[in-house]
Chains A and B, each alone.
Chain A
């Protein structure tokens, strides 16, 4: 008992010398229990010096005949490995002996310790595993440990997978027939987690797991269902045999098991079983907690996307559960699922929209109502009979609260704008709103005026539509700041002067319309302040003030290696007719003070550029970064490229580090920097679009250019994709820059804005032609055909 207490208190060794010395005496006492516990306690409170003293005893203890003592020493060794690894490594011989011990758990602990000691030496681990798989391992828990090490070895020798069977696979399969359940399960799990496992290898593991499914012990059922769930994500076909057992698990007492069974069935179900599943799930949903319900909803969504023909029953199911009780997260998940289904399965649109309409009649969450109204506004006008939805929308205007009213008015107006036949009716409704509360009245007035409220059925101009309903791509924070800074003057507020991180889409020169719900698209990312800062910095320098608007600033490029005396990086600022290089310099030498720092730029390899101005840095003391600028003129609007070599020139003065005072005269010195390139990608702003397909369609194919290129042998498909994306300098959309491993083809969607404010969209299709050769098809759409040609030029020459 005393031992337990000492362990809890765990003082440091120098405080309790008496304790430690009595413990050391205990370590050699005759009673085994004392010895074992003394070892454990000592190892907990010891430090390096004390450890060397008792090392001898510990080594003896490891090979002691009494298993309790041996285990104690070994386990303490495992813990000590964290703090004093070198000492523990010296015990390898004794530990090796212990591995051969007859006592079951001693073998387990010895194996664990030995593996920890040798885990960085792959060959040693390999040898250890091979010797033990052939030998006998006595305790089931040691066997589990061995299985885990074996899978690690298999994973690391993954290069040999082409040559037939993996090493040690037979051992794993043999373990499937062991007596102890924990070994069987561990082996089955290890097989399912092997890299790139084939169905043939999986079959014995799955058979075993299937037996567990019908065990009477909940632990086994749970373990089996969880593993099968993971397998179903990658090999649904292999798991279909177990479907029948899993269906009986749906009514299991333990709710976690039931939920896991349902989600697995949803992943592996085929079309015929979907109806049956739906019936069973309906009864089940009322029992389980919200977080499980969300899991089920998401599984249903993926199922529906897999079997689009079944959308009717699945959609009915979703709308039924939408009507029942539930929390906000849960209902949001259902609404999101319905929306995704409507977007991806055209046949389901009408039913889906109707379900959503019925839902908002009764919805208690304002956020969801506004989201759905906005979505209705986008999708409703495109359906065959939009007038159906007007009733639902109009009802919203008189019930609920202000946010919903605002959303409803906007949606109504959208219907009016998009569908000409409905315009007169919409106007009647909007006019009725003019007598309503603030939010509704103001919006109604705006819409009536812009849509031509005189009742004429006229095609609404495209730019009006854009103005009213185009997405507000400027981050709201920026807009707010600009509005705050705007002082009322003759010049109207220019919305295109608001710094835009996300998109450059100059709206009409009016004050932007008020808040719209951001709808179901991704919200724009929060703006970084660097662009703002650069603009302010550059406009404060009189020489650069008349260069016009800053188009793009590149991220800093290092011109010196790490740990040099002077660290310099450069930021390239691109204007319409000029380029400014901002050199950020840092002096890392405490004994020096630099003055009159300028950069001499040799532009002999960049014919189109002519140096116009440079701004030297007055003083650069130790450890405080400063900037110096050099400006070049280039032909207007032309994306000129060139290479510039740079040399840092300055006057260096010695500084007395103790006083911090510099000497009076200094020496002129130069410091060579690396070269700097201005490439085509610098003229391209990375601007993402949230819905590429829409943007592509709306851009139109007038200035589309398509061409094919062979990129030659490449390291991998991913490398080729990255290279082209970097070359073009455009923003990948919708996560298409990620290439899935082992794929033979990939489509990448890029968007950007070219100098001259021209929007460009690029669709790249890559294919692996043969083992290493990559072929690429490039389709460019933009608002200007010279730009499309220019993009192709970049790729052709890059």
Chain B
């Protein structure tokens, strides 16, 4: 019996509803098209509301979605209909603040895309297979930082890292174009 609080997915969409970074932890959406349909539904249902100061919440289709908007990004955390909404909200807050710390304050779509790897690391550190790993933003950011710091230990490696970073950036831009 699953009494453990489970997260079904975490979504990061842009202001038009396109994907920026998403991670699914449940089998409710087996195909990619199902996932995209879900993202579209969530986006249209929350488009008209404003969730900039406080986390907002809505419910549909037996899912509870907690969400927050900043600049041109929309953060969503989804749980089952009987989930404790406040736990979902704390996960959302943790993710939101951690992203803010990682990107050093400027949270908008461009910055996120440039540091997409860090965002994915962040997602990985918050929830593992649906179970909440960590909700404290400082701890999460610390873990992400220690990951990325190891990549660039010596000077020469840093250059390589920079080159890799530029290559990654170009790749993501071309994917989105």
Q: Which residues of chain B come closer than 8 Å to A785, judged between CB atoms?
A: none
Closest chain A CB from B62 CB (angstroms): 13
Interface pick from B10-18, B26-34, B51-59, B100-108:
B51-59
In the complex, A35 has a CB within 8 A of chain B: no
- In the complex, 28 of the A-B residue pairs with CB atoms within 8 angstroms, ordered by the A residue number, are A1-B147, A1-B151, A4-B120, A7-B124, A33-B147, A68-B143, A78-B4, A78-B131, A79-B129, A79-B131, A105-B133, A115-B3, A141-B5, A141-B90, A141-B132, A144-B5, A148-B3, A182-B84, A182-B90, A185-B86, A186-B84, A186-B86, A217-B55, A218-B56, A219-B85, A223-B57, A223-B85, A254-B56
In the complex, A600 has a CB within 8 A of chain B: no
Q: Which residues of chain A come closer than 8 Å to B39, judged between CB atoms?
A: none
In the complex, A220 has a CB within 8 A of chain B: yes
Give CA–CA (A33, B148) in the complex, Å. Answer: 11
In the complex, B146 has a CB within 8 A of chain A: yes
Give the interface size bracket for A toward B.
Answer: 35 or more
Contact of B4 among A1, A68, A112 (CB under 8 A): A112
Nearest-neighbor residue (CB-CB) of B53 within chain A: A216
Q: Which residues of chain A come closer than 8 Å to B169, judged between CB atoms?
A: none
Q: CB-CB contacts of A199-227 with B at 8 A, as 1s and 0s?
A: 00000000000000000111110110010
Closest chain A CB from B144 CB (angstroms): 10
In the complex, B20 has a CB within 8 A of chain A: no
Is A145 in contact with B3, judged by CB distance below 8 angstroms? yes
CB contact under 8 A between A218 and B54, given known A144-B84, A253-B49: yes
Q: Which residues of chain B come closer than 8 Å to A219, judged between CB atoms?
A: 54-57, 66, 85-86, 88-89
Nearest-neighbor residue (CB-CB) of B86 within chain A: A182
Contact of B3 among A3, A108, A149 (CB under 8 A): A149
Give CA–CA (A794, B117) in the complex, Å. Answer: 78
Q: Which residues of chain A come closer than 8 Å to B133, judged between CB atoms?
A: 71, 75, 105
Give CA–CA (A225, B66) in the complex, Å. Answer: 16
Is A222 in contact with B132, judged by CB distance below 8 angstroms? no
Give CA–CA (A739, B12) in the complex, Å. Answer: 49
In the complex, A31 has a CB within 8 A of chain B: yes
In the complex, B70 has a CB within 8 A of chain A: no
Which 4 residue pairs are nearest across A and B when measured between Cβ atoms? Answer: A182-B86, A223-B85, A148-B3, A219-B89
Interface residues of chain B: helix, strand, loop or mixed (majority)? mixed
Is B132 in contact with A256, judged by CB distance below 8 angstroms? no
Closest chain A CB from B141 CB (angstroms): 13
Q: CB-CB contacts of A107-121 with B at 8 A, as 1s and 0s?
A: 011001001100100
In the complex, A40 has a CB within 8 A of chain B: yes
In the complex, A653 has a CB within 8 A of chain B: no
Q: Which residues of chain A come closer than 8 Å to B143, judged between CB atoms?
A: 33, 68
CB contact under 8 A between A256 and B84, given known A78-B4, A119-B1: no
Q: Which residues of chain A come closer than 8 Å to B5, judged between CB atoms?
A: 141, 144-145
Tell me the total A-B contact number using a CB cutoff of 8 A: 101
Q: Which residues of chain B come closer than 8 Å to A115, judged between CB atoms?
A: 3
In the complex, B114 has a CB within 8 A of chain A: no
Further 8 A-B residue pairs, CB within 8 A, beyond A1-B121, A76-B128, A141-B135? A33-B143, A141-B132, A144-B87, A145-B5, A217-B55, A218-B57, A219-B55, A222-B85
Is A222 in contact with B57, judged by CB distance below 8 angstroms? yes
In the complex, A152 has a CB within 8 A of chain B: yes
In the complex, A396 has a CB within 8 A of chain B: no
Q: Which residues of chain B come closer than 8 Å to A145, judged between CB atoms?
A: 3-5
Nearest-neighbor residue (CB-CB) of B123 within chain A: A4
Nearest-neighbor residue (CB-CB) of B50 within chain A: A253
Is A152 in contact with B129, judged by CB distance below 8 angstroms? no
In the complex, A181 has a CB within 8 A of chain B: yes
In the complex, A189 has a CB within 8 A of chain B: yes
Is A217 in contact with B59, judged by CB distance below 8 angstroms? no
CB contact under 8 A between A31 and B150, given known A75-B133, A148-B3, A254-B57: yes
Q: Which residues of chain A come closer than 8 Å to B121, judged between CB atoms?
A: 1, 4
Closest chain A CB from B168 CB (angstroms): 10
Q: Which residues of chain A come closer than 8 Å to B129, judged between CB atoms?
A: 75, 79
Contact of B117 among A1, A71, A78 (CB under 8 A): A1
